């Protein structure tokens, strides 16, 4: 196996915007430090006047295809973006087809790749336009599709959310890691709804007196068993005012409509609401100990920046192969950059105590480790050592390994009694004298034991 060459090598990546203004100054962007990649972008917004209520849009160029989700509406809205790598384009014509299923084509339109405009940030986004659809015979039938098509780079703002043509073989669980994205902490806007009052409510049953009125939101309120819907009103989020400062937004009156089985049946009253999107919050998507971004959702509340740090990841070579593919070694490498106080200035953090470290290593972890396994084994050995010692002592007693006979200190009378047969071969007086002596020794031993219990000297 050949040795890997980790020496320094010269690289010539194609970086930089490379575009100049009429005055001769170069335009710059945040992607000037990385090698440029060109993509064909297709933004599918919506369609209208379709003859089918169940449709989807499929974009095709060469052997690459991408499709939107199905939409059960004659005027569907999709809002999806597709990206095709320009270096891998296999055709000169882009087909956009509206289908009811894989076989039935409702309408389609075509774009010549050579006529597609180029857009590179900081250029303004390309506005979507309406395009007439043609049926399979080339006749226009009134249906239209709104979309925009342009050539762009990975600096485009739609790049992270686009469906990429080189990820077609990746399943849904791994699609999120198939393409590098911009990692940003979420800065969410909270929808605040203040329900003030209602007027001119029309009850469903005229003979009911003093009904109890309960307001509720669509996503957070469900009708109970004995409840009925008097009316509904819809508020589009695109028309809701964004609130940054603590001052309340003006309240507005909204008309309520009687809706039965998704059919509007008339006026049902008015409701007074104060609706706003609050942006003075920040929601963490990581542990607070490692977070370095606590900015609010609204940019006007951010602390002014004192400078800009730019880091460009250009290329890598000589990486160690981690797996084998098609008979050759390869690796799936990526680079992550993190800047923040918690990661860079570690010397200012005091060291953790021994008790804290032991608690962190031993508490609430379900992951196997050799250290924890060895510690548990030592605990088990210590627990069973007492039982093992007791068993060894009991086994030695059973096998008479530690005799208690005291044969070396026995008196002649004791040995004479030990080897005397049964019945005794001695005279009756000697036998009586022998057992009287044993009984006297037994009484003396009992008296000595009683003195010990009374803490007296025998």
Q: What is the pLDDT of residues 44-74, one digit of tens each?
A: 999 998 888 889 999 999 888 889 988 888 8
CA 224 to chain CA mean position, Å: 35
Considering only 99-108, 200-209, 330-339, 374-383, which range has the smallest mean pLDDT? 200-209
Contact predicate 283/316, CB 8 Å: no
Write out the H or E segment, with its range, that includes residue 444: helix 428-453
Q: What tokens were used for 144?
A: 């239209």
**98 contacts 55 by C-beta, under 8 angstroms:** yes
pLDDT of 81 higher than 90: yes
Tens of pLDDT, residues 173-201:
444 444 444 445 556 788 889 999 988 88
Would you state the pLDDT for residue 18? 54
pLDDT at 87: 86
- Which pLDDT score is estimated for 438? 61
**Which are the contacts of 85, defined by CB distance < 8 A and separation ≥ 6?**
37, 38, 39, 40, 164, 165, 166
**242 and 277 in contact (C-beta within 8 Å)?**
yes
> Quick one: pLDDT at residue 170?
47
- Domain ranges for the chain, please list them: 38-177, 183-207+227-306, 407-453
pLDDT of residue 346: 40
Kindly tell me if the per-residue pLDDT of 17 is higher than 60.
Answer: no
| pLDDT value of position 40 | 94
Q: At what angle do helices 370-398 and 354-362 cross, to 10 degrees?
A: 90
Q: How many CB atoms lie within 10 A of CB 64?
A: 19
Indicate the DSSP class of residue 225.
Answer: T
Q: Extract the tokens encoding 317.
A: 């070579």
With pLDDT > 90 as the criterion, what percentage of the chain qualifies? Answer: 16
Please report which confidence band the pLDDT of residue 41 belongs to, taking 50, 70 and 90 as the band edges: very high
Could you tell me the CA-to-CA distances from 159 to 141, 147, 313 in Å, in that order?
34, 16, 18
Helix (H) or strand (E) holding 418: helix 412-418
pLDDT (tens digit per residue) in 207-236: 566 667 777 676 544 655 667 778 888 888
CA distance 291 to 183: 13
Q: Report the chain's C-alpha Rg in angstroms.
A: 44
Residue 79 structure tokens: 């809002």
Residue 341 CB burial class (10 angstroms; 0-12, 13-18, ≥19): exposed
User: Taking the mean position of all CA atoms in its chain, how far away is CA 76?
Assistant: 31
Residue 395 pLDDT exceeds 80: yes
38 is written with which tokens?
């060109």
pLDDT at position 329: 82
In CATH, the number for domain 38-177 is 2.60.40.150
Closest CA to 165 of 93, 90, 92, 65: 65
The mean predicted confidence, pLDDT, of the chain is: 76
| β-bridge pairing 241-243 and 105-112 | unpaired
* CB atoms near residue 99 (< 10 Å): 20
pLDDT at 181: 45
Supply 107's token pair. 């309408």
Q: Are 39 and 83 in contact (CB under 8 A)?
A: yes
Per-residue pLDDT band at 292 (split at 50, 70, 90): low
Cα–Cα distance list, 347 to 287, 341, 351, 354 (Å):
20, 11, 9, 18
CB atoms within 10 A of CB 152: 25
Tell me the pairing of strands 252-260 and 241-243. Answer: unpaired
Q: Confirm whether pTM is higher than 0.75.
A: no
């Amino acid at each position: 196996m050949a040795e890997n060459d980790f020496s320094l090598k010269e690289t010539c990546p194609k970086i930089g915007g490379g575009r100049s203004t009429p005055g001769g100054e170069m335009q710059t962007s945040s992607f000037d430090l990385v090698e440029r990649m060109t993509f064909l972008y297709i933004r599918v917004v919506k369609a209208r006047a379709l003859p089918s209520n169940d449709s989807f849009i499929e974009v095709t160029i060469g052997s690459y295809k991408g499709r939107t989700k199905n939409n059960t509406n004659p005027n569907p809205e999709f809002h999806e973006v597709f990206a095709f790598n320009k270096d891998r384009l296999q055709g000169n014509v882009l087909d956009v087809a509206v289908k009811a299923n894989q076989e039935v084509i409702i309408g389609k339109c075509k774009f010549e790749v050579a006529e597609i405009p180029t857009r590179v940030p900081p250029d303004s986004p390309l506005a979507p336009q309406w395009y007439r659809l043609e049926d399979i015979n080339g006749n226009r039938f009134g249906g239209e599709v709104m979309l925009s098509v342009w050539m762009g780079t990975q600096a485009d703002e739609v790049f992270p959310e686009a469906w990429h043509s080189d990820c077609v073989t990746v399943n849904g669980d791994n699609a999120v890691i198939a393409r590098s994205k911009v990692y940003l902490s979420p800065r969410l806007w909270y929808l605040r709804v203040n329900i003030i009052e209602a007027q001119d409510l029309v009850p469903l049953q005229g003979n009911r007196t003093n009904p109890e009125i309960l307001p509720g939101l669509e996503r957070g309120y469900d009708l109970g068993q004995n409840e009925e819907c008097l009316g509904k009103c819809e508020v589009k989020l695109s028309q809701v005012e964004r609130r940054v400062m603590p001052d309340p937004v003006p309240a507005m009156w909204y008309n309520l409509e009687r809706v039965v089985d998704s059919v509007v049946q008339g006026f049902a009253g008015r409701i007074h609401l104060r609706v706003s999107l609050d942006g003075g919050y920040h929601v963490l998507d990581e542990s607070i100990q490692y977070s370095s971004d606590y900015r609010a959702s609204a940019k006007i509340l951010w602390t002014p920046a004192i400078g800009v740090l730019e880091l460009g990841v250009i290329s890598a070579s000589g990486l160690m192969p981690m797996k084998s593919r098609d008979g050759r070694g390869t690796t799936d490498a990526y680079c992550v950059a993190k800047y923040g106080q918690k990661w860079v200035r570690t010397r200012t953090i005091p060291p953790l105590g021994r008790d804290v470290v032991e608690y962190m290593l031993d508490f609430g972890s379900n992951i196997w480790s050799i250290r924890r396994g060895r510690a548990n084994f030592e605990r088990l050995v210590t627990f069973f050592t007492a039982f093992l010692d007791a068993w060894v002592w009991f086994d030695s007693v059973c096998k008479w390994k530690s005799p208690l006979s005291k044969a070396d200190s026995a008196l002649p009378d004791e040995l004479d009694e030990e080897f005397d047969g049964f019945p005794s071969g001695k005279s009756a007086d000697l036998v009586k004298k022998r057992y009287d002596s044993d009984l006297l020794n037994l009484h003396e031993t009992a008296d000595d034991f009683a003195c010990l219990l009374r803490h007296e000297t025998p």
